[in-house]
Amino acid sequence: MFPKNKGFTSIRFIICSIAIMAVVQNLKAQKLTSSPYSRYGIGDIYRPYFSLQYGLGGASAAITHPAFINVSNPASYAWADLTVFETGIRSNTNRIQSSLINQWTNNSTLGYIAFAMPFTKHWGFAFGLMPYSSVGYRMFDSQYNNNLGTVSYQYLGSGGINKVFIGNAIKIKNKLALGFNASYLFGNISKERTIFIRTLNSYNSYLKEEMLVSDFHFDAGAQFKTPVSKSKEWNMTLGAAYSLGDNINAKYTRIAYAYSGTTIKDTGLFFLDSAGVLSIPQKISAGITFDKGEKWIYTIDYSMQNWGDFRWFGNNDSLQNITQFVAAVQYCPERYAINNFFKSLQYRMALRVANTPYVVKDTPINEYGITFGFGMPLRRSRSTINLGIEIGERGTLKNNLIKEQFINVNFGVSISDKWFIKPKYD
């Protein structure tokens, strides 16, 4: 006789092992963005949403589901009743436009991995690994100077910050949940600028800055869930999350020199592993959700983060505070439909409107996106295969700026099962 679900257990183990190795490898050489706007601050902030939240446009403050992990509000871990494993592939296709360029870029990576599990009926636990921010740009510009002639500029940026987290949550009287995440941020960011001057007897200039980040970061959340109909078919969830504003320890290296060909004239600025801090701003999010079990989910979500307070080694990068509003819905005709595959799918749609932290030439850079997605349940299981597609736009062509039109894709797997219980035999 054989253990029940032995084949599924083996597949589950293989998927987890491959995902762990792939995520670790990707974080070593990640390139999650090709946006010129990642030149500012610590780059593009990674949206920390897994399969369900991504399909809902990033709504997360008031989202609870025992078969999915919601790292954006750690209070959600308290609702877990089985062990959940989640991983996903992220892909970004970006059309970058300006008065001088019109090009397409694409980046794909295995973007996150996380586990959640219940310790007791009222205590949940989660841990995982994911990016926090990403830098990736290659830009060129030319200007005419009356004294020097044509001066060309090259800007290069790479790297990013990663996050490993561990979280706990408790549930009080089956209605109120409180939780927190303790995260470790690590990684490096490199930015280079080269100025080429073609006039005789002139020297080119080169500047390189590197930041090595390594420190802890904390966030917390709360959720309140209660029935709102006499039949108790409909539930309401109120949620809020708060990420502390922290001074993150970092080391800074800066080198600048003038050169011609292979000859360096002099080194003007040089700092090696100078200790300092990055001031990561606080973030607040809140939301409300109405759900009818698996059949209907309606949610709205609002978040803000004070990137105007961001500092790196005492310098201000002229960023602004950001806000984001999301409205989303999920519909599942019949979760456990046997004879109709399409009835068992979870259909998701969302609208997201945000202003980014970037201000260029006194022009705020705004962003919006429309998300479509679905969750496909695996037979005789709460596990799902999920796809979320966001189509949107960021920036403007006004004031000779850059506009990006993007298609973001998240392909995720959520495996929910009794992982650590000895199997029974027939």
Q: What is the CA radius of gyration of the chain?
A: 24
Count CB-CB contacts under 10 A for residue 258: 17
To the nearest whole percent, how much of the chain has pLDDT over 70? Answer: 89
pLDDT tier at 400, thresholds 50, 70, 90: confident
DSSP for 229-246, please give it.
STTS--EEEEEEEEE--E
Asked whether the predicted pLDDT for residue 202 surpasses 80, the reply is: no
For 3-27, give one letter per residue: b (16+ CB within 10 A) or e: eebeeeeeebeeebeebeebbeebb
C-alpha 103/C-alpha 138 separation (Å) is 12
Asked whether the predicted pLDDT for residue 204 surpasses 90, the reply is: no
Give the SS3 label for residue 419.
coil
In one letter, which amino acid is 105? Answer: T
Asked whether the predicted pLDDT for residue 425 surpasses 60, the reply is: no
Strands (E), 58-175: 83-97, 102-120, 123-145, 149-172
Higher pLDDT, 268 or 225: 225
Pull the structure tokens for residue 356. 């980014």
Higher pLDDT, 177 or 21: 177
Pull the structure tokens for residue 364. 């705020």
C-alpha 53/C-alpha 89 separation (Å) is 14
pLDDT tier at 7, thresholds 50, 70, 90: very low
The closest of 191, 81, 89 to 138, measured between CA atoms, is 191
pTM: 0.87
For 275-303, give one letter per residue: b (16+ CB within 10 A) or e: ebbbbbbebebbbbbbbeebeebbbbbeb
Higher pLDDT, 15 or 333: 333
Give the per-residue pLDDT at 255. 87
In one letter, which amino acid is 396? Answer: T
pLDDT tier at 53, thresholds 50, 70, 90: very high
Q: Could you tell me the residue ranges of all domains in the chain?
A: 6-417
In the block, residue with structure tokens 């709460």: 382
Give the SS3 label for residue 79.
helix
C-alpha 178/C-alpha 225 separation (Å) is 12
The mean-pLDDT minimum among 78-92, 271-285, 388-402 falls in: 271-285
Pull the structure tokens for residue 49. 């949403």
Residue 139's Cβ-count burial label (10 Å; 0-12, 13-18, 19+) is middle
Count CB-CB contacts under 10 A for residue 226: 12
Give the per-residue pLDDT at 130. 92
Give the per-residue pLDDT at 143. 80
Tens of pLDDT along 114-159?
999 999 989 999 999 999 999 999 888 888 777 777 888 899 999 9
Asked whether the predicted pLDDT for residue 9 surpasses 70, the reply is: no
**Residue range 408-417: mean pLDDT, rounded:** 91
CATH 2.40.160.60 assigned to 6-417:
yes
Asked whether the predicted pLDDT for residue 346 surpasses 50, the reply is: yes
Asked whether the predicted pLDDT for residue 327 surpasses 50, the reply is: yes
**Residue range 185-202: mean pLDDT, rounded:** 86
Tens of pLDDT along 249-283?
999 888 888 887 767 777 666 677 788 888 999 99
C-alpha 290/C-alpha 27 separation (Å) is 36
pLDDT tier at 338, thresholds 50, 70, 90: confident
C-alpha 177/C-alpha 290 separation (Å) is 17
